[in-house]
Structure 1
Amino acid sequence: MNSFFASVELSFRPELRGKPVAVAGSVKDRRGIIVTSTYEARAKGVKTAMPVWQAKKLCPDLILLSSNFERYRTASRNLFDLLRGYTSLVEPVSIDEGFLDVTQYTENIHPYKLAERIQQDLQRDMDLPCSIGIAPNKFLAKMASDMKKPNGITILRKREIPQLLWPLAISEMQGIGKKTVEKWEKAGILTIGDLAKADTAMIGEKFGSSGLKLQKRANGHDERPVNPDSIHEFKSIGHSTTLPSDTRNQQKVEATLQQLADSVSFRLARKEVAAYGIQLTIKYHDWKITNKSQKLSNPCHTSSEIYERALSLWRKAWNQEAIRLLGISTYDLVEKSHAYKQLDLFTQEKDVKDYQVEQALETLQQRFGQQAIVKGAASFDSRKKWIEQRSMRGTSLDKPEEE
């Protein structure tokens, strides 16, 4: 879908079409960030995650609309219901993007004509624009869908890969994270074509099995099927631990909650999702279990955010009895690209600094393992064990292990 949140808003306010419009966490200057914007606004330099005050400076006539996530979720359900009218093999990958396998489509129609029909139906029934990529596999279809926006239809055949795909910068390749672009470029991989033609042994040595998988895709090979059930593979992400002995010690509880928050944050980062809900599980010495949950107005994914909310739930839920087990789980997951946090005027500077610290920790953990960087005195034992294990294997911090 093209500028999905903004497009949904315009379907309710068609008089704003053709004007620079943005959806923001707060419509007041300096009190929020841009969630998404129309192409008219983007032409003026407005970008996702840009502070509202900066967007207004670049585009003084920018029209700001408050976000309405329930409206967007409803639109998402409706659009996927429409797509399932063409084929049962529909795989949602986010709130506004998905794959369709139309190999067994019953009508005798060219794929391009089918794509046109889908575009027309979405426009007629929901007043929403989209771009469609047509290709023999999921990777190429995804890359093709990004080549013409808005309202584009692109066919990417395997024989066209050298002309259409290989000249693109490595940063534009689906599956290459923003944090790893510099690493690829330092290895001399500047374009998708560089990756496709690179020495396989070098890719394996520097980037492991994931790098070899990406190299295959750069050459047009992707055997993943369209899986309608993949969206349900993880509805929640959590972690729990049984304590060495039953305890009422507040310091031990807080230390355990910090370790659990670190683990959950690490797993959220691996899935590239954030959570709109958090739940604390407490199992007492007599095996009685208490669950306490909280819905969040802003999605969380950092260790500090998860810990603070879990600690708050703990203080509300604990009945003063000895604890046997603690667990933290997150639910109502959303892709990070669709998650945002409204930055308050008085805490924005702290939020930005905290975010930068968390991003740095996340990068180190992704490279060297979850226990490479841990927080607080409570993590000393696990950190010591991690160092001993690496020493026994003869590994060091300057050479990450292959996946």
Structure 2
Amino acid sequence: MSQRRVIFHIDMNSFYASVEMSYDPTLRGKPLAIAGNVEERRGIIVTSSYEARAKGVKTTMPVWRAKRLCPELLLMKPNHERYRQASRALFELLGSYTPLVQPVSIDEGYLDVTSYLPIKHPYELAKDIQTRIKLELDLPCSIGIAPNKFLAKMASDMKKPNGITILRKRDIKQMLWPLPISEMYGIGRRTVDKWEKRGIKTIGDLANANQLDVQGWFGTNGRKLHDRANGIDDRPVDPEAIYEFKTIGHSTTLKQNTKNMALIERSFESLAESVSKRLKKKEVLARGIQVTIRYHDWKTVTRSQKVTNPIQSSEEIFEVATALFTKAWNQESVRLIGISSYDLIEQQHAYKQLDLFHYKEDMKEEKIANTLKEIHARFGEDILHKGTASTWKSKDESARESGSSFRKDFLEPE
């Protein structure tokens, strides 16, 4: 019998834009957007103020479209050092409440505040944290309160900006299940169609589906999502998780030692495809690529490079990897090569700076990638392949409750 927990999810509202408004108060109340490149038609929206959102401006929207929807839109380039400083101040403030703080990105994190329950009502504690963040950092946030991380994350999305939402297990049928499956944390935008084709159009549909069927359709991840739709999530708040070195990689031993660049390139192409497939499955992008070269005499070298924009496609991975290889290769025979992606970031936190000459092409590649994925899903992986370098290549987010109800929902054992 385990003790119930009280978990907070802190989600900063329109973080980059809010930091800029704090830095320059004359921006308050105006439609403001942060974009990768602020010049006309040359970037996408990273985040925007709620005034801009009211005009239809959305994250990942091309700048030209945002300006068409909101001609008075103010555009600013990201100031990453300013945002990092604000983030450090935020997590120092959160750390003053409990050591059990797990940052998950620059502007959101989990707190395990179970220890406060005997002495302070969770809603009052959340209100205290929210008020301090506003007074001391001049930044707005929303807070989700729940018995586990998944429900806390979903709760923080329910009332923005400046919301505090309580989501207890006994409330999930009314508050969680009616939401469309696309709003469920953990289900990527690209996979929504697959869920809907199985008849799963709401979170409630998933919760009430047969778990074995869901696992058969979507594997282990499907089973985990089925549990979470039913309010089950035992993951701890782990302060060390952010320091883990996350990487996805593959290597291959060549059939024979070789200096044949065409053969080496074909092997790199296959490795890039494997790494890309795993990145897409985990719905993450890489901000760094590393190659490994082992020579015929077993001497092994590695070379790595950070990329300007997070990448996921096999073509981009291949391009960076082969450039690293070409620069590092000493012209001796090669026995093994490998590609690793590192400094991974979830798709929802990644953005790409599209320039004037590539934004249309990138939109086209997205359609091609989705078409290929659909064909593979329907007819199998072998039905259609992208060509090698010498043939065709596709570029591929309550009211206060009584203390007794909280004790029942969060503290009493199952």
TM class by shorter chain equals 0.7 to 0.9
Secondary structure of 2:141's match? coil
Aligned-residue offset at 1:277: 1.9
Greater Cα offset, 341-350 or 363-372: 363-372
**Superposed counterparts of 1:165-180, under 5 Å:** 165-180=176-191
Any conservation in 2 of the 1:91–1:229 contact (CA below 8 Å)? yes
Any conservation in 2 of the 1:6–1:21 contact (CA below 8 Å)? yes
Partner of 1:192: 203
Q: Deviations over 1:8-37 (max 9, x none)?
A: 222222210111000001111111111110
Aligned-residue offset at 1:354: 2.6
Aligned-residue offset at 1:206: 4.1
Partner of 1:383: none
Structure 2: gaps (5+ residues): 1-11, 390-414
CA distance in structure 2 between the partners assigned to 1:368 and 1:96 by the alignment: 41
2:73 aligned with 1:62, yes or no?
yes
Partner of 1:396: none
Q: 1:204 to 1:348 in 2, by over 3 A?
A: closer
CA distance in structure 2 between the partners assigned to 1:202 and 1:289 by the alignment: 46
Letter in 2 for 1:331: Y
CA distance in structure 2 between the partners assigned to 1:91 and 1:366 by the alignment: 36
User: Pick from 244, 247, 268: which aligns with 2:255?
Assistant: 244
Secondary structure of 2:115's match? coil
CA distance in structure 2 between the partners assigned to 1:212 and 1:236 by the alignment: 24
Residue identity over aligned pairs, in percent, reads 63
CA distance in structure 2 between the partners assigned to 1:83 and 1:309 by the alignment: 39
Q: Deviations over 1:220-272 (max 9, x none)?
A: 22222222233334433222222221100011110111111112212222332
Aligned-residue offset at 1:73: 3.1
Letter in 2 for 1:278: I
**Superposed counterparts of 1:1-400, under 5 Å:** 1-105=12-116, 108-200=119-211, 202-361=213-372, 374-376=385-387
Secondary structure of 1:293's match? strand
Q: TM-score, normalised by structure 1?
A: 0.86
CA distance in structure 2 between the partners assigned to 1:201 and 1:323 by the alignment: 46
CA distance in structure 2 between the partners assigned to 1:308 and 1:38 by the alignment: 36
CA distance in structure 2 between the partners assigned to 1:265 and 1:207 by the alignment: 19
Letter in 2 for 1:139: F
Q: Which has the higher contact order (CA 8 A, sep 6+)?
A: 2
Q: Deviations over 1:266-324 (max 9, x none)?
A: 22223322222222221211222332222222121111001011111222121111111
CA distance in structure 2 between the partners assigned to 1:367 and 1:8 by the alignment: 46
CA distance in structure 2 between the partners assigned to 1:287 and 1:362 by the alignment: 38
Aligned-residue offset at 1:366: 8.1
Aligned-residue offset at 1:154: 0.5
Letter in 2 for 1:253: I
Greater Cα offset, 146-155 or 272-281: 272-281
Q: Deviations over 1:79-104 (max 9, x none)?
A: 22321221111222222222111112
Aligned-residue offset at 1:208: 4.5
Any conservation in 2 of the 1:269–1:362 contact (CA below 8 Å)? no
Q: 1:184 to 1:335 in 2, by over 3 A?
A: closer
Secondary structure of 1:104's match? helix
Aligned-residue offset at 1:40: 0.5
Aligned-residue offset at 1:121: 1.9
Q: 1:327 to 1:158 in 2, by over 3 A?
A: same
Q: TM-score, normalised by structure 2?
A: 0.84
Q: CA RMSD in A?
A: 2.6
Any conservation in 2 of the 1:285–1:324 contact (CA below 8 Å)? yes
Q: 1:204 to 1:337 in 2, by over 3 A?
A: closer
Secondary structure of 2:99's match? coil
Q: 1:117 to 1:307 in 2, by over 3 A?
A: same
Q: Deviations over 1:161-199 (max 9, x none)?
A: 222222222222222222232233333333222333334
Q: 1:79 to 1:368 in 2, by over 3 A?
A: farther
Greater Cα offset, 280-289 or 177-186: 177-186
Q: 1:96 to 1:181 in 2, by over 3 A?
A: same
Secondary structure of 1:140's match? helix
Letter in 2 for 1:50: M
Aligned-residue offset at 1:60: 0.6
Any conservation in 1 of the 2:269–2:388 contact (CA below 8 Å)? no
CA distance in structure 2 between the partners assigned to 1:366 and 1:186 by the alignment: 12
Greater Cα offset, 69-78 or 252-261: 69-78
Q: 1:270 to 1:201 in 2, by over 3 A?
A: closer
CA distance in structure 2 between the partners assigned to 1:229 and 1:364 by the alignment: 40
Greater Cα offset, 358-367 or 165-174: 358-367
Q: 1:95 to 1:190 in 2, by over 3 A?
A: same
How many residues were matched structurally?
379
Aligned-residue offset at 1:359: 4.2
Partner of 1:388: none
